[in-house]
């Protein structure tokens, strides 16, 4: 197997199997991926830094180890991208900001250390929005439609995996920034339970809401990556002391006996465009046909999620940035600086009230799952398909009612950040214009395995994940 395009079209699972059958090498996979980066980067701008020499050295080491019988697992020798807010020893980590220009950490984030331990090849640092909340210049473009917005803030990770310039990638998710790029790029993105994956060495946006997780092209690949990334970390005070299962063990267990909730009033009607609703209804119908019980539910507390999360996010962001902004404020873009400073005018009493509201919401969600014996809740990941880039970055004053096309994105993804429960976005279909649409599953705390099982069962009945961006080989 030598054709570079054939190699980069392999899933992680397929590439791992090919390595063990000696049909290819880690060096060949890495060279093919570097060729894809060279081919696609002038257009899509997915990478902040490409680590050519390091990647090839890691690939050579993986080949030597596999030849000697030292098998580190299914990520060994696989090229992976890492979001540029994750610290990487000896590699630029600029978090999309001029305030971090030239910064090279002297240690690795825990998630990067775990990838290295699994034998993965770090192919480069993927671009992110400034401090994970601002914009990016030049804009990262979608491989599905170069005039469309590919999601934020893990934009580079989503586009790299979609454009076949990485087999998988690491993103972070404070308010949907793994799942939104996943749905807009026809990928699987997992925001695991809060504390399941260490955030040590990851530049925070809001420490009590931040999650680190994988973006891949298939559910099985995502389970492989999460298994390598997860686990308790004494360096992270919020890291959970919970054992990490083998997420592949029951992934093909089917849907018999599964109970999946849908709150139509919140997730399928307000602001959801017809094409996205149609895709989601089709996914729900297919899950029911496969044996799942679809349960109509209603949770009034969902209406509190946006205000509650935004209050927490703004205060924690302002707290983290207050000293740097006072010293280097001129290096922040004006929009990002304004966004990060908004939390300074929020009263401590408001922050405490938001923390208490979050606990009420968590209890309400937990009680709903228990009362209805739910294994998951389903919804569209976001209510719309990918908007035009020119509309996303148009000044707010020029928008109708002062709203940008992405303001409604967070309506469906915020609840899982606020509750801390796991949530996955997976490919559900396409709009009539050929744009990807993802569906979201929220699950019980530390039960990511069930979400993988549902997503994998649906994936096997469709070919959405096999579709390639129409412009990927232009």
3-state class (DSSP) for residue 397 = helix
In the set 11, 13, 58, 83, the catalytic residue is 83
The 3-state DSSP composition of the chain as helix, strand, coil percent (nearest 5) reads 45, 15, 40
Angle between helices 305-328 and 410-419 (to 10 degrees): 80
Q: Is 177 one of the catalytic residues?
A: yes
Tokens of 157: 């990770």
3-state secondary structure 71-101: CCCCCCCCEEEEECCECCCCCCCCCCCHHHC
Rounded Cα distance between 109 and 95, Å, is 14
Q: Is 83 one of the catalytic residues?
A: yes
- For residue 317, CA distances in Å to 207, 311, 402 come to 8, 10, 23
In the set 177, 317, 333, 425, the catalytic residue is 177
Contact by Cβ (8 Å): 254, 291: yes
Q: Which backbone phi and psi does 420 adopt, to 5 degrees?
A: 80, 0
Tokens of 32: 């093919």
Q: Where does 118-190 have alpha helices with state H?
A: 155-162, 179-184
Contacts of 443 (CB under 8 A, 6+ apart): 375, 376, 377, 421, 422, 423, 424, 450, 451
In the set 11, 109, 142, 153, the catalytic residue is 153
3-state class (DSSP) for residue 319 = helix
Q: Closest Cα partner for 440 from 304, 243, 283, 328?
A: 283
Classify residue 376 by its DSSP letter. Answer: E
| Catalytic (active-site) positions | 83, 153, 177
């Amino acid at each position: 197997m030598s054709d570079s395009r054939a190699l980069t079209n392999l899933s992680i699972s397929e590439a791992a199997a090919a390595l063990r059958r000696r049909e290819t090498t880690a060096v060949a996979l890495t060279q093919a991926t570097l060729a894809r980066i060279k081919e696609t980067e002038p257009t899509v701008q997915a990478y902040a830094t490409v680590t050519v020499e390091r990647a090839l050295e890691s690939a050579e080491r993986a080949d030597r180890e596999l030849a000697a019988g030292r098998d580190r697992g299914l990520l060994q020798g696989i090229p992976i991208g890492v979001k540029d807010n994750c610290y990487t020893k000896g590699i630029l980590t600029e978090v999309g900001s001029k305030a971090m220009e030239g910064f090279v950490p002297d240690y690795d984030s825990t998630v990067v250390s775990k990838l290295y331990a699994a034998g993965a090849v770090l192919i480069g640092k993927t671009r992110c929005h400034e401090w994970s909340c601002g914009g990016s210049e030049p804009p990262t473009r979608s491989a599905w439609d170069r005039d469309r917005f590919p999601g934020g803030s893990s934009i580079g990770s989503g586009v790299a995996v979609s454009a076949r310039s990485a087999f998988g990638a690491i993103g972070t998710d404070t308010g949907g920034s793994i799942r939104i790029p996943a749905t807009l790029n026809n990928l699987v993105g997992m925001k695991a339970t809060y504390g399941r994956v260490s955030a040590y060495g990851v530049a925070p946006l809001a420490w009590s809401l931040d999650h680190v997780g994988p973006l891949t092209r298939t559910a099985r690949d995502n389970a492989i990556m999460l298994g390598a990334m997860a686990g308790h970390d004494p360096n992270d005070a919020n890291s959970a002391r919970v054992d990490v299962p083998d997420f592949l063990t029951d992934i093909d267990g089917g849907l018999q006996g599964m109970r999946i909730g849908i709150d139509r009033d919140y997730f399928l009607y307000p602001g959801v465009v017809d094409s996205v609703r149609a895709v989601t209804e089709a996914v729900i119908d297919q899950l029911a046909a496969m044996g799942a019980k679809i349960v109509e539910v209603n949770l009034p507390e969902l209406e509190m999620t946006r205000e509650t999360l935004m209050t927490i996010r703004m205060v924690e962001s302002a707290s983290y940035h207050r000293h740097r902004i006072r010293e280097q404020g001129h290096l922040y873009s004006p929009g990002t600086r304004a966004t990060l400073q908004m939390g300074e005018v929020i009263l401590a009493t408001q922050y405490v009230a938001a923390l208490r509201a979050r606990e009420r919401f968590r209890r309400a969600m937990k009680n709903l799952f228990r009362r209805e014996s739910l294994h998951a809740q389903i919804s569209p990941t976001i209510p719309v398909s990918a908007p035009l880039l020119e509309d996303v970055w148009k000044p707010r004053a020029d928008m109708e009612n002062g709203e940008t096309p992405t303001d409604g994105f967070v309506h469906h993804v915020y609840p899982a950040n606020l509750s801390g429960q796991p949530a996955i976005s997976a490919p559900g279909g396409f709009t009539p214009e050929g744009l990807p649409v993802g569906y979201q599953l929220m699950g019980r705390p530390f039960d990511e395995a069930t979400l993988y099982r549902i997503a994998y069962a649906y994936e096997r009945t469709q070919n959405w994940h096999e579709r390639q961006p129409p412009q990927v080989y232009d």
